[in-house]
Structure 1
Amino acid sequence: MRDHAGQSGSTEAVAFESEGNRLAGRLAHPAGPPRRVVVINGATGVPAGYYRAFADWLAETRQAAVLTWDYRDFGSSAVRPARESRARMSDWAVADQQAARDCAERRFPGLPIWVIGHSLGGLGLAYQAGLGRIERFVAVASGPVHISDHPWRYRPVAAGFWWGPAALAVRTAGYLPARLGPGADLPGGVFRQWRRWCTTRGFSAGDPALPPPRGAELTGTARFVVASDDDLCPPATAWRHMRSFPEARHEQAVLRPEAHGLRRIGHVAPFARASRAVWPEIVGL
C-alpha cells in the first residue's frame, strides 16, 4: 500500500515478523532509485510516527529508502492491551531491531545499510548478528545510563520514576500507563527490565536475557550523537557506549541548541520537526 509522501517520493506500509510477533512499519522511498537503506530504531515509548518527518527528509536528501517501525505490543504493532503483553526490553532491543534490519536487507539486497538508533534504539545493536554488513551506525541520545550518571538536579526525578507511582502502577496494573511514562502505554516487562538496567552498575551486562555481545563485528562507522542539554543521557554515557564497538570508526558529535537557534533539544527532541536544523549534524554526512 502506498500513499503520497510529498514531491520527493512515496511511502509504503510494511509488516514483518519477530519471533512470531507481527511488527508494523513504514518505508519512505526517495524519488529515484535508492542509494542506501536506513533503519530507524525508536526510543522507549516513542511511536514510529514521531520519526516520520526525519525519515522523509532522509529519503529526499540522502536518496535513501527509510524504514520506521514499532516494537512488539507497542504503537502500530500493538495487537493486545499492554497489560497482557509479555514483552521485555531485551526483546525490543535485540530480536525486534534485528527483524527490522533483516526486513530492510531483504527488500533492498546489496544496498549499503545504515542504522539510526534513538536511545534504546541504539543499545541493542551490539547483541545482533550481521554487523559486518552495516556501513553506518548512528546512536542518538543512547548510552548505558546508571542513575548516578544523571546531573544532580535530575536524579530525584529519575528516582521518583523508577520507584514511585510508575513502579506502583506496573505492580498493580501489570503495565505502565501513558500518563505515568514517556507518553504511551508500556508493557510491564519492558518497564521492569528498563529499571533494572538503569539502576544497576554495568547496565545490562550480565543480563541472562541477552545473548553474548558481538559489537566487535561492526567495522563500519559508528557515530555517537548527544545533546548538550540531555539530562537523561549525558555525553559521558554515550562515549562509554563507544566501547561496545571497538573495531568501528568512531565519530562523536554534541548538539548544542544555541548553535542552531533552538531553546532546547534534550533527550527526545533531536528528531522533532522543530529540530530540523540539527538533522544534518545527526547524520554527519
Structure 2
Amino acid sequence: MSCQDTPARQHSQSTSPTSTAVQGEPFKEAAADGFVLGGFTWRQALPDIQRPAVIINAATSVRCRHYSRFAAYLFGNGFDVITYDYRGIGESRPDSLKGLQASWTDWGALDFEAMLKRAQREFPGQPIDVVGHSFGGCAAGLGESGQVIRRLVTVGAQFAYWRDYAPEQRWRMFGKWHLLMPLMTRICGYFPGKRLGWLEDTPAGVVRDWSTPTARYERRPSGRALMKKAGSLPFANVRAQTLAISISDDPYGTIAAIERLLACFSNAPKTHLRIEPQDIGEQQVGHFAFFRSAYQATLWPIALTWLHTGALAPDTPGRTVPRS
C-alpha cells in the first residue's frame, strides 16, 4: 500500500427522498488559530430568536456529509443546522496531512469552538443545541464557550478507552486501533485510513490521542497539553440538558464507555438511553448507522423530541440507565 498523501475526492452532497429535499449552503470559517474549516449551513428563510440552531459534531474521521440527511431532517422540522469537518477531514482537508498539527483537543477546543462562535454570529439570540456522534460528543465538552449550549444529544459518544470496548471484540479492536493504526501513522506521517477502507485519512495527532491506552481524557497527549495550558478541561462549562443515546450492539459505545464520558460533564443534567436493536425491530444497528435515513422513523425522532423538549417521549424505545 502506498503512503502517497492525496486529498480525498469531493463528492456531491445528496439528500434522502424521505428527508427534506434541500442541500446545505457551503461555508468557510477560520478557527482562532487561523485554520480554515469547511462546512454547510441549513438556514430557514426568516430569522426567529425562538428557533434553535443545531451544530452536528462528527465522529472521528467521518466526513460531515455523512450527517447531511439527518441535518435536512432537523431543518425540515424547524431548526437551523450547521455541519462541518474537523481540520484534516473532508471539507477541511489541506493539500497534505503530513506535518499537520491536529489533535482531538484541537478538534474540540478550536474547531468546535469556532462553530459555537459562528452559530452565535449567524443566528444571534437563538438557542444553540448540539448533536455529537462518537468523539463528537466529547468535542462538545472541549469548547470554551460550552455554557451557551442549551441541549445536547450524543450518540455512541466516548473517547476510545480500550478496556471499555465490547469484550467479545476488545482484542481485535485493540490490535486494529491501538497497534496497527499508530504503526501505519508512524510509517506514513498520517493514518491512510481511506486506502485501508477504515474511515478517512487522519492526522497523526488524532491517532496519538485515540491510541493512547488511558482511561482519563486529561491523560491523552493533547489532553495533557490543554491541562498544562489552561489548568483544567472545559467540560464543566457545559450545563446543557444532555441525552446520551447508546446502542447495545455498538462495540465502542458500551455502558462503561458512555458513562465514562458523561462523568466529564459534571455540571450537566444527564440521561442515558440504552437501546437494543430489537426495540426498533432490527437485528443490528452498531456504531455508525444511527444517522442513516433508514432510521428516520425509529431513531431520529428520539433526538428530535429531546431537542424540542429536553425530555423523552413516553413511547421512546429502550431503557434509561440508572445514574450512579
Same fold? TM cut 0.5:
yes
Give CA-to-partner distance per residue, 1:244-268, whole Å, 9 cap, x none. 2232222221232222232321111
Give the unaligned 5+ runs of structure 2. Answer: 1-12, 307-324
The answer as to 2:88 corresponding to 1:73 is: yes
Greater Cα shift, 84-93 or 29-38: 29-38
Superposed displacement of residue 98, structure 1: 0.6
- Asked whether the 8 Å contact 1:45–1:184 carries over to 2, the reply is yes
Report the equivalent of 1:209.
225
**Aligned mate of 1:14, from 13, 19, 27:** 27
- Asked whether the 8 Å contact 1:4–1:11 carries over to 2, the reply is no
Give the fraction of aligned pairs with identical amino acids, expressed as a percent. Answer: 30
The answer as to 2:298 corresponding to 1:281 is: no
- Asked whether the 8 Å contact 2:242–2:270 carries over to 1, the reply is yes
- Asked whether the 8 Å contact 1:47–1:75 carries over to 2, the reply is yes
Superposed displacement of residue 48, structure 1: 0.4
Residues 282, 15 of structure 1: alpha-carbon distance in 2 compared, 3 angstrom cutoff: same
Whole-Å Cα distance in 1 between the matches of residues 254 and 83 of structure 2? 25
Superposed displacement of residue 90, structure 1: 1.5
Residue 259 of structure 1: SS of its match in structure 2?
helix
Residues 105, 174 of structure 1: alpha-carbon distance in 2 compared, 3 angstrom cutoff: same
Give CA-to-partner distance per residue, 1:15-50, whole Å, 9 cap, x none. 101121110110112466451100001001100000
Report the equivalent of 1:90.
105
- Give RMSD over aligned pairs: 2.3
Going by fraction, where is strand more abundant, 1 or 2? 1
Residue 283 of structure 2: SS of its match in structure 1?
coil
Residue 94 of structure 2: SS of its match in structure 1?
coil
Give the unaligned 5+ runs of structure 1. Answer: none
**Aligned mate of 2:271, from 236, 251, 269:** 251
Greater Cα shift, 254-263 or 45-54: 254-263
- Asked whether the 8 Å contact 2:57–2:140 carries over to 1, the reply is no
- Asked whether the 8 Å contact 2:85–2:92 carries over to 1, the reply is yes
Greater Cα shift, 112-121 or 132-141: 132-141
Report the equivalent of 1:25.
39
Whole-Å Cα distance in 2 between the matches of residues 4 and 265 of structure 1? 22
- Asked whether the 8 Å contact 1:15–1:25 carries over to 2, the reply is yes
Count the aligned residue pairs: 280
Superposed displacement of residue 82, structure 1: 2.0
Superposed displacement of residue 136, structure 1: 0.3
Superposed displacement of residue 8, structure 1: 6.7
Stretches (4+) displaced over 4 A: 3-10, 31-34
Residues 156, 221 of structure 1: alpha-carbon distance in 2 compared, 3 angstrom cutoff: same
Report the equivalent of 2:71.
55
Report the equivalent of 1:228.
248
TM-score (norm 1): 0.89
- Asked whether the 8 Å contact 1:38–1:64 carries over to 2, the reply is yes
- Counterpart of 1:217, as a letter, is N
Greater Cα shift, 181-190 or 223-232: 181-190
The answer as to 2:130 corresponding to 1:115 is: yes
